[in-house]
Structure 1
Amino acid sequence: MKPAYRLLAELEATFDDTIECIEALVACYRQHPRAAWALHSPTPNADWLRAALLDFWYQDGQDGRVTRSYVGLIAADEDLLEHVTRVNAAKTNFADILARIRQEAATLIPELKAVLPFRHPALHTHLRGQGLARLHLKQCWRTLPVADAPLSRARLAWYSSGRSIKKLSVHDAEKKLLALDQDAPHIRIQLQRLAGIPDREPLAQVQKQAPLMRANLFFREPLVDGRLRRAMNVALPLFIPSHNGQLPDHNTPPPFPNDKRTRAKRSDERLEDEVFLPSLRVYRYKN
C-alpha cells in the first residue's frame, strides 16, 4: 500500500472509532438520562444529543469556514465523562492524521470526503435524506467542551468580535489573485484594477467573524492552579461534572446574537465601503 493511501486507511479507522465512541456516549446517556439544557431545543434528550454530535455535514451553500453550533449544558457523572474522554481522544487522533494528509497528500482530501460517509450506511442515508452536501471535516474533529470541575454557576453570552483585518501589499494581493483561475474574466478584471494603483499603497483583507457563544464557568472550589473561574467557547454541548445529576445555576441567553452594533467605531471604518478585490475580500483605505 502506498504511504498516502496508508494514511487514508488510518483516517478511515479513526473516523470509525469516532462514530463508535459517540454512539457509546449517546447509549450511556440514553440509559441514564441526566439533567440537560439546550439553547434551541425544549427537550434536549438522547436523540438531540446524537444529532448534535453526529452533525458532520455541509449544508447546501454553507460557507466552508463556518460550523454549526449546538449550545447546551449536560450534567455528567464519571461514567459519562469517561465516554466524553474517549470521544475527544478519537477526534484528536482524527485531526492529527488529517493534518498529516493535508501536509503529505492533500490531493486525497476530496476522495476521503466522498468515501468516509459510505462507511456508515445510517449516516449516509441521513446525508441524502436531509439534502446535505458532503463531509465537513472541521465538524468531525472539533472536540466536546468539558468543565474542569463541578460548577457553582455558569453564565452564557454571545461574543461578537466583528471583523478581522489583515494588511496586504499590492504584491501580496497580486500573488493571491494569480493563484486563482487567471483565465476567468472576473480575475482578469481584478488584476487590471490592481495594476492601476500605486505599488506601495496598503490594502486590507477583511474576514467577517461569526458570533460565538462564550461560557463563563465558576467553580465550586479552586482548581489546582488556584483558579475559581474559566471562560471558554461552547459550540457543542458542555459536559459539566455533577455528582447528583443536576446542572448548576445558569442563565438563558437570547437564542441569537444581537446584530446591532454595540461597539464604538473602529479602525475598519477607515476602509472604503465598496470592496476593491471581491475574490479576496480586499478593500482600499479611505484617503
Structure 2
Amino acid sequence: MSHVNAPEYRLLAELEAAFDTLIENTEALLAAYARSPGEAWAFQAEATTEWLRQALLDFWYQDGQDGRVTRSHVGLVAADDALLERVAAVNVAKAEFAALLGRIREAHPPLIAEIKAVLPFRRPELHQHLRGSGLARLHLKQCWRAIPVAEAPVARVRLAWYASGRSIKRLTVREAERKLLALDTDAPHVRIQLRKLAGLPGSEPLAQVQGQAPLMRANLFFTEPLADGRTRRALNVALPVFIPAPRGRLPHCNEPPATPPETRTRARRRDERLEAEPFLPSLRIHRYRQDMA
C-alpha cells in the first residue's frame, strides 16, 4: 500500500485487528450453535449449521455483483441466553469495524479498494472460499451489517415482501441545477428540464427519489408487551433473526412467496407529499405537492 502515512498505517492496523475480532467472534457464535443447536428455519433452504455458517460469513462480492446490492439470507434461529451473548459480541465487532472503515474513507479513500482485496488473506480459512467460487473480494457492507435480534420472546412471526421502499433526498433548486448541468447539456431533454427548473422560485424545495430493491420484512409479535407497551416490531431481514427461546423452539412463522410481487401491493397514501410524476425525469427529482405545503 503505497503513499500511506503513519496515521493511516495505524488506522489500517486497527482495521485488520477489528476484522480478526469480527471473524473470531462469528466463529465463536457458530461453534456455540453447533454445540447446542436450537430450532432454525431458512427461507427456501435447509436450515443446517452449514447454512448458518454461509449466511453469517457471506462477506464476498460475486462476479458481476452490483456493488450497491447485498445478498440476503432470510431465516430464524431460536437462541438461548448464551447464544444471544455471542450474537451481541458479533454485532459490537461489526459496529467497530464499520466505524473504522468510516474513518479510513475520510482519511484515505483510495485505500478502500485495496482493503477489499487484502483483508481476506489474513484469514486463510476464509480465503479458501475464493478459489473457483466466483468470489472476488470483500463486500464491506456485508461484513458490517448487524445480525437482527428480537429483544424479547416472540409468539409468532409474519414475513412479507416489501417492494415499495424508496429513499428521498431533499434538494434545493440550485443543487438540482448543478446536477442537470453535470449531464449532457447539449441533449434536448436536458435543455427542456433546465428551462422547467428556471421557472421555479429558488426557495422551493425538491426531492430526489431512489427506488430500493425488494426486501423481506419480519413482523415480530411478542408473547408479552414490552416495558414501553409495544406488542410487535417490524424489521427488515437480510440475515437470520435470532429469537430468545430458552427451550430452543421457534414461534409459528408463515411461508412467504418465493419472489416479491411485480407490482406495488400497498395503496398509495392519500397524504403522499410528492407529486406522482417526476419534475426532472433524468434525475428522478419530484416537486412537493402544493396542496400539501
TM-score tier after normalising by the smaller chain length = 0.7 to 0.9
Q: Match of 1:101?
A: 104
Whole-Å separation in 1 of the counterparts to 2:170 and 2:286: 10
Is 159-168 or 109-118 further displaced after alignment? 159-168
- Deviation string for 1:147-193 (max 9, x for gaps)? 111111111111122544556567535644777xxxxxxx6467786
- Deviation string for 1:120-156 (max 9, x for gaps)? 1232221232112321111100111111111111111
Could you list the runs of 5+ residues in structure 2 that have no partner in the other structure?
A: 201-205, 288-293
Q: Is 1:271 the equivalent of 2:269?
A: no
> Which of 235, 239, 244 is the matching residue for 1:241?
244
> Which of 62, 72, 77 is the matching residue for 1:74?
77
> Which of 127, 130, 138 is the matching residue for 1:127?
130
Q: Match of 1:183?
A: none
Q: Match of 2:113?
A: 110
Q: Match of 2:198?
A: 200
> Which letter maps to 1:118?
F
> Which letter maps to 1:234?
V
> Which letter maps to 2:119?
L
The structure-2 alpha-carbon separation of the partners of 1:238 and 1:201, relative to structure 1 and needing over 3 Å to count, comes to farther
Report deviation, 1:40. Answer: 1.8
Q: Match of 2:226?
A: 223
Could you list the runs of 5+ residues in structure 1 that have no partner in the other structure?
A: 180-186
Whole-Å separation in 2 of the counterparts to 1:214 and 1:152: 17
> Which of 12, 17, 33 is the matching residue for 1:8?
12
Contact map agreement 2:163 2:264 (CA 8 A) in 1: no
Is 153-162 or 132-141 further displaced after alignment? 153-162
Q: Match of 1:184?
A: none
In angstroms, what is the RMSD of aligned CA positions? 2.7
Report deviation, 1:67. Answer: 0.9
Report deviation, 1:195. Answer: 4.7
> Which letter maps to 2:103?
R
Q: Is 1:209 the equivalent of 2:212?
A: yes
Q: Match of 1:160?
A: 163
Whole-Å separation in 2 of the counterparts to 1:105 and 1:61: 26
Whole-Å separation in 1 of the counterparts to 2:186 and 2:58: 38
Whole-Å separation in 1 of the counterparts to 2:86 and 2:181: 48
> Which of 256, 264, 273 is the matching residue for 1:261?
264
> Which letter maps to 1:8?
L
Length, aligned pairs only: 272
Report deviation, 1:226. Answer: 2.3
SS in structure 1 of the partner of residue 78 of structure 2:
strand
